[in-house]
Structure 1
Protein backbone atom coordinates (compact mmCIF):
# COMPACT_ATOMS: atom_id res chain seq x y z
CA UNK A 1 0.00 0.00 0.00
CA UNK A 2 1.23 3.48 -0.87
CA UNK A 3 -0.16 6.94 -0.28
CA UNK A 4 -1.62 6.72 -3.79
CA UNK A 5 -4.29 4.37 -2.45
CA UNK A 6 -5.92 7.21 -0.48
CA UNK A 7 -8.26 10.06 -1.24
CA UNK A 8 -8.84 13.26 0.70
CA UNK A 9 -11.25 16.17 0.56
CA UNK A 10 -9.69 19.45 -0.53
CA UNK A 11 -10.26 22.61 1.46
CA UNK A 12 -12.68 23.62 -1.35
CA UNK A 13 -14.66 20.40 -0.69
CA UNK A 14 -13.59 18.39 -3.75
CA UNK A 15 -12.58 14.76 -3.44
CA UNK A 16 -8.95 14.31 -4.57
CA UNK A 17 -7.16 11.05 -5.23
CA UNK A 18 -3.58 11.14 -4.04
CA UNK A 19 -2.76 9.04 -7.11
CA UNK A 20 -3.00 12.38 -8.95
CA UNK A 21 0.41 13.12 -7.41
CA UNK A 22 2.16 10.03 -8.82
CA UNK A 23 5.68 10.84 -9.96
CA UNK A 24 5.94 13.83 -7.60
CA UNK A 25 7.94 14.28 -4.40
CA UNK A 26 5.45 15.08 -1.64
CA UNK A 27 5.77 16.82 1.68
CA UNK A 28 2.65 16.09 3.73
CA UNK A 29 2.14 18.36 6.73
CA UNK A 30 -0.52 18.66 9.43
CA UNK A 31 -1.05 22.39 9.84
CA UNK A 32 -2.75 24.82 12.22
CA UNK A 33 -3.24 28.54 11.75
CA UNK A 34 -2.98 29.56 15.43
CA UNK A 35 0.15 27.61 16.40
CA UNK A 36 3.62 28.83 17.31
CA UNK A 37 4.84 26.90 14.26
CA UNK A 38 2.31 28.55 11.90
CA UNK A 39 5.01 30.84 10.40
CA UNK A 40 6.40 27.64 8.84
CA UNK A 41 3.63 28.07 6.26
CA UNK A 42 5.80 30.81 4.79
CA UNK A 43 8.80 28.48 4.57
CA UNK A 44 6.65 25.73 3.07
CA UNK A 45 5.38 28.17 0.46
CA UNK A 46 8.95 29.21 -0.35
CA UNK A 47 9.91 25.55 -0.93
CA UNK A 48 6.83 25.12 -3.09
CA UNK A 49 7.67 28.21 -5.15
CA UNK A 50 11.25 27.05 -5.58
CA UNK A 51 10.69 23.37 -6.42
CA UNK A 52 7.12 22.89 -7.66
CA UNK A 53 8.22 23.12 -11.30
CA UNK A 54 10.78 20.40 -10.57
CA UNK A 55 8.22 17.99 -9.12
CA UNK A 56 7.54 18.98 -5.50
CA UNK A 57 4.03 19.10 -4.11
CA UNK A 58 3.26 20.17 -0.56
CA UNK A 59 -0.02 18.92 0.89
CA UNK A 60 -1.37 20.74 3.94
CA UNK A 61 -3.85 19.03 6.25
CA UNK A 62 -5.30 21.36 8.92
CA UNK A 63 -5.90 19.70 12.27
CA UNK A 64 -7.47 20.97 15.49
CA UNK A 65 -6.29 18.15 17.78
CA UNK A 66 -3.43 20.07 19.39
CA UNK A 67 -4.31 22.92 21.71
CA UNK A 68 -7.43 23.91 19.71
CA UNK A 69 -5.10 25.79 17.36
CA UNK A 70 -7.19 25.28 14.21
CA UNK A 71 -10.73 26.17 15.33
CA UNK A 72 -11.94 27.77 12.09
CA UNK A 73 -13.95 26.44 9.19
CA UNK A 74 -12.26 25.29 6.00
CA UNK A 75 -13.15 28.63 4.40
CA UNK A 76 -11.62 30.57 7.30
CA UNK A 77 -8.50 28.39 7.23
CA UNK A 78 -8.06 28.90 3.48
CA UNK A 79 -8.40 32.66 3.89
CA UNK A 80 -5.85 32.82 6.72
CA UNK A 81 -3.33 30.65 4.86
CA UNK A 82 -3.69 32.67 1.65
CA UNK A 83 -3.85 36.19 3.08
CA UNK A 84 -1.27 35.81 5.87
CA UNK A 85 1.22 33.42 4.25
CA UNK A 86 0.48 33.45 0.51
CA UNK A 87 -0.20 29.70 0.53
CA UNK A 88 -1.12 28.32 -2.86
CA UNK A 89 0.02 24.72 -2.43
CA UNK A 90 -2.81 22.18 -2.07
CA UNK A 91 -4.68 22.42 1.22
CA UNK A 92 -7.18 19.87 2.39
CA UNK A 93 -10.20 19.86 4.63
CA UNK A 94 -9.62 19.83 8.39
CA UNK A 95 -9.02 16.30 9.69
CA UNK A 96 -7.94 14.34 12.75
CA UNK A 97 -4.44 12.87 12.53
CA UNK A 98 -4.61 10.73 15.71
CA UNK A 99 -7.18 8.46 17.30
CA UNK A 100 -10.05 6.40 15.98
CA UNK A 101 -11.27 9.24 13.75
CA UNK A 102 -7.85 9.85 12.21
CA UNK A 103 -7.87 10.20 8.45
CA UNK A 104 -6.83 6.88 6.84
CA UNK A 105 -3.87 8.60 5.14
CA UNK A 106 -2.46 9.65 8.51
CA UNK A 107 -3.12 6.21 10.00
CA UNK A 108 -0.97 4.86 7.16
CA UNK A 109 1.75 7.52 7.50
CA UNK A 110 2.09 7.07 11.27
CA UNK A 111 2.07 3.28 11.09
CA UNK A 112 4.83 3.29 8.47
CA UNK A 113 7.02 6.02 10.00
CA UNK A 114 6.99 6.14 13.77
CA UNK A 115 8.09 9.26 15.56
CA UNK A 116 10.51 9.56 18.44
CA UNK A 117 7.82 8.50 20.92
CA UNK A 118 5.89 6.07 18.73
CA UNK A 119 3.37 6.36 15.93
CA UNK A 120 1.10 9.16 17.09
CA UNK A 121 1.67 12.68 15.88
CA UNK A 122 2.67 14.81 18.85
CA UNK A 123 1.94 18.32 17.52
CA UNK A 124 1.13 20.51 14.53
CA UNK A 125 3.56 20.72 11.61
CA UNK A 126 4.79 17.13 11.67
CA UNK A 127 6.08 16.51 8.16
CA UNK A 128 6.26 13.36 6.03
CA UNK A 129 8.51 13.22 2.97
CA UNK A 130 7.29 10.92 0.19
CA UNK A 131 9.30 9.85 -2.85
CA UNK A 132 8.11 9.81 -6.47
CA UNK A 133 6.88 6.22 -6.06
CA UNK A 134 4.68 6.98 -3.06
CA UNK A 135 7.05 5.56 -0.44
CA UNK A 136 7.37 7.30 2.91
CA UNK A 137 11.03 8.27 3.14
CA UNK A 138 11.21 10.33 6.31
CA UNK A 139 9.27 11.95 9.12
CA UNK A 140 10.24 15.29 10.63
CA UNK A 141 9.26 16.74 13.99
CA UNK A 142 7.44 20.08 14.12
CA UNK A 143 10.64 21.85 15.21
CA UNK A 144 12.33 20.96 11.90
CA UNK A 145 11.81 23.98 9.71
CA UNK A 146 11.02 23.66 6.01
CA UNK A 147 14.42 25.24 5.25
CA UNK A 148 16.21 22.57 7.29
CA UNK A 149 14.78 19.75 5.18
CA UNK A 150 15.38 21.38 1.79
CA UNK A 151 18.44 19.20 1.17
CA UNK A 152 16.31 16.06 1.70
CA UNK A 153 13.80 17.32 -0.83
CA UNK A 154 16.49 18.26 -3.36
CA UNK A 155 17.96 14.77 -3.10
CA UNK A 156 14.63 13.16 -4.00
CA UNK A 157 14.09 15.65 -6.83
CA UNK A 158 17.64 15.02 -8.12
CA UNK A 159 18.41 18.76 -8.20
Structure 2
Protein backbone atom coordinates (compact mmCIF):
# COMPACT_ATOMS: atom_id res chain seq x y z
CA UNK A 1 0.00 0.00 0.00
CA UNK A 2 2.81 2.41 0.88
CA UNK A 3 4.60 1.59 -2.37
CA UNK A 4 1.47 2.45 -4.42
CA UNK A 5 1.06 5.74 -2.57
CA UNK A 6 4.74 6.55 -3.18
CA UNK A 7 4.40 5.83 -6.90
CA UNK A 8 1.31 8.06 -7.16
CA UNK A 9 3.07 10.84 -5.23
CA UNK A 10 6.14 10.52 -7.43
CA UNK A 11 4.01 10.62 -10.61
CA UNK A 12 2.19 13.69 -9.30
CA UNK A 13 5.47 15.48 -8.54
CA UNK A 14 6.89 14.59 -11.95
CA UNK A 15 3.73 15.92 -13.62
CA UNK A 16 3.85 19.16 -11.66
CA UNK A 17 7.55 19.56 -12.42
CA UNK A 18 6.90 18.96 -16.10
CA UNK A 19 4.16 21.63 -16.15
CA UNK A 20 6.39 24.09 -14.32
CA UNK A 21 9.25 23.35 -16.72
CA UNK A 22 6.96 23.82 -19.71
CA UNK A 23 5.68 27.12 -18.35
CA UNK A 24 9.20 28.33 -17.66
CA UNK A 25 10.44 27.41 -21.14
CA UNK A 26 7.39 29.13 -22.73
CA UNK A 27 8.20 32.29 -20.79
CA UNK A 28 11.84 32.09 -21.88
CA UNK A 29 10.79 31.60 -25.51
CA UNK A 30 8.47 34.64 -25.39
CA UNK A 31 11.14 36.74 -23.67
CA UNK A 32 13.59 35.88 -26.46
CA UNK A 33 11.08 36.34 -29.30
CA UNK A 34 9.33 39.57 -28.29
CA UNK A 35 12.30 41.85 -29.09
CA UNK A 36 12.70 40.12 -32.48
CA UNK A 37 9.00 40.56 -33.27
CA UNK A 38 9.23 44.22 -32.29
CA UNK A 39 12.30 44.74 -34.49
CA UNK A 40 10.65 43.08 -37.50
CA UNK A 41 7.45 45.11 -37.01
CA UNK A 42 9.42 48.37 -36.60
CA UNK A 43 11.32 47.76 -39.86
CA UNK A 44 8.14 46.72 -41.66
CA UNK A 45 6.36 49.87 -40.45
CA UNK A 46 9.27 51.97 -41.76
CA UNK A 47 8.98 50.20 -45.11
CA UNK A 48 5.24 50.81 -45.19
CA UNK A 49 5.79 54.51 -44.49
CA UNK A 50 7.97 54.90 -47.60
CA UNK A 51 5.68 56.13 -50.36
CA UNK A 52 6.72 55.46 -53.93
CA UNK A 53 5.69 58.60 -55.87
CA UNK A 54 3.11 58.17 -58.62
CA UNK A 55 2.69 54.45 -57.83
CA UNK A 56 -0.51 53.38 -56.05
CA UNK A 57 0.03 51.64 -52.69
CA UNK A 58 -2.21 48.83 -53.95
CA UNK A 59 0.25 48.04 -56.78
CA UNK A 60 1.28 44.38 -56.21
CA UNK A 61 4.98 45.21 -56.46
CA UNK A 62 4.60 47.67 -53.57
CA UNK A 63 1.83 46.27 -51.35
CA UNK A 64 3.71 43.02 -50.73
CA UNK A 65 6.71 44.80 -49.22
CA UNK A 66 5.44 44.59 -45.65
CA UNK A 67 4.79 42.04 -42.93
CA UNK A 68 1.43 41.41 -41.34
CA UNK A 69 -2.15 41.84 -42.47
CA UNK A 70 -2.25 45.66 -42.44
CA UNK A 71 -2.39 47.35 -45.81
CA UNK A 72 -1.27 50.90 -46.61
CA UNK A 73 -3.87 53.60 -46.08
CA UNK A 74 -3.22 55.93 -49.00
CA UNK A 75 -3.07 55.25 -52.70
CA UNK A 76 0.30 56.85 -53.13
CA UNK A 77 1.34 60.40 -53.76
CA UNK A 78 -0.65 61.46 -56.83
CA UNK A 79 0.45 65.08 -56.39
CA UNK A 80 4.12 64.22 -56.79
CA UNK A 81 4.13 65.46 -60.38
CA UNK A 82 7.73 66.61 -60.07
CA UNK A 83 8.89 63.07 -59.27
CA UNK A 84 11.34 61.68 -61.81
CA UNK A 85 11.94 58.08 -62.86
CA UNK A 86 15.02 58.17 -60.64
CA UNK A 87 12.97 59.39 -57.62
CA UNK A 88 10.47 56.58 -58.11
CA UNK A 89 13.15 53.90 -58.50
CA UNK A 90 15.02 55.18 -55.42
CA UNK A 91 11.86 55.16 -53.28
CA UNK A 92 11.09 51.58 -54.34
CA UNK A 93 14.68 50.52 -53.50
CA UNK A 94 14.45 52.15 -50.06
CA UNK A 95 11.09 50.47 -49.38
CA UNK A 96 12.44 47.10 -50.57
CA UNK A 97 15.61 47.45 -48.45
CA UNK A 98 13.66 48.12 -45.23
CA UNK A 99 11.17 45.35 -45.98
CA UNK A 100 14.08 43.01 -46.75
CA UNK A 101 15.67 43.77 -43.37
CA UNK A 102 12.37 42.95 -41.63
CA UNK A 103 12.07 39.75 -43.67
CA UNK A 104 15.59 38.71 -42.74
CA UNK A 105 14.78 39.00 -39.02
CA UNK A 106 11.77 36.72 -39.54
CA UNK A 107 13.66 34.18 -41.64
CA UNK A 108 16.61 34.09 -39.21
CA UNK A 109 14.27 33.41 -36.26
CA UNK A 110 11.43 31.34 -37.73
CA UNK A 111 10.65 29.83 -34.32
CA UNK A 112 9.38 33.24 -33.19
CA UNK A 113 6.98 33.92 -36.07
CA UNK A 114 3.79 32.45 -37.48
CA UNK A 115 3.61 30.73 -40.86
CA UNK A 116 1.88 33.86 -42.23
CA UNK A 117 4.90 36.05 -41.40
CA UNK A 118 7.36 33.43 -42.66
CA UNK A 119 5.49 33.21 -45.98
CA UNK A 120 5.38 37.00 -46.34
CA UNK A 121 9.07 37.27 -45.45
CA UNK A 122 9.95 34.67 -48.09
CA UNK A 123 7.94 36.60 -50.70
CA UNK A 124 9.67 39.87 -49.74
CA UNK A 125 13.13 38.27 -50.05
CA UNK A 126 12.19 37.14 -53.58
CA UNK A 127 10.98 40.60 -54.64
CA UNK A 128 13.32 42.47 -56.96
CA UNK A 129 15.64 44.84 -55.12
CA UNK A 130 15.80 47.36 -57.97
CA UNK A 131 13.51 48.75 -60.62
CA UNK A 132 14.95 48.32 -64.12
CA UNK A 133 12.68 50.92 -65.72
CA UNK A 134 9.84 53.26 -64.81
CA UNK A 135 7.09 54.07 -67.29
CA UNK A 136 5.92 57.54 -66.33
CA UNK A 137 2.24 58.55 -66.39
CA UNK A 138 1.03 59.82 -69.75
CA UNK A 139 -1.71 62.33 -70.51
CA UNK A 140 -4.43 61.35 -72.96
CA UNK A 141 -3.43 61.92 -76.58
CA UNK A 142 -4.49 61.07 -80.11
CA UNK A 143 -3.67 57.64 -81.50
CA UNK A 144 -1.34 59.14 -84.11
CA UNK A 145 0.52 61.11 -81.38
CA UNK A 146 -1.24 64.44 -82.00
CA UNK A 147 -1.36 66.35 -78.69
CA UNK A 148 -4.93 67.59 -79.02
CA UNK A 149 -6.01 70.29 -76.57
CA UNK A 150 -9.65 69.26 -76.91
CA UNK A 151 -9.42 65.70 -75.59
CA UNK A 152 -12.51 65.06 -73.54
CA UNK A 153 -15.31 66.55 -75.66
CA UNK A 154 -17.01 64.37 -78.21
CA UNK A 155 -15.13 64.22 -81.52
CA UNK A 156 -11.68 64.88 -80.09
CA UNK A 157 -9.01 63.17 -82.21
CA UNK A 158 -11.64 62.09 -84.75
CA UNK A 159 -9.23 62.83 -87.60
CA UNK A 160 -6.26 61.37 -85.71
CA UNK A 161 -7.38 57.77 -85.08
CA UNK A 162 -9.19 58.34 -81.79
CA UNK A 163 -8.09 58.97 -78.19
CA UNK A 164 -5.51 56.93 -76.30
CA UNK A 165 -6.50 57.17 -72.64
CA UNK A 166 -3.90 58.55 -70.27
CA UNK A 167 -2.67 57.18 -66.98
CA UNK A 168 -2.15 58.99 -63.71
CA UNK A 169 0.12 56.24 -62.37
CA UNK A 170 3.69 55.25 -63.12
CA UNK A 171 4.45 51.59 -63.85
CA UNK A 172 7.43 49.78 -62.33
CA UNK A 173 9.26 47.32 -64.57
CA UNK A 174 11.74 44.78 -63.23
CA UNK A 175 14.49 42.85 -65.03
Q: Quick check: which one's strand share is greater? A: 1
Larger Rg: 2
If asked which structure has higher relative contact order (CA below 8 Å, sep 6+), I would say 1
The two structures have a TM-score, normalised by structure 1, of 0.24
The two structures have a TM-score, normalised by structure 2, of 0.22
Q: Quick check: which one's helix share is greater? A: 2
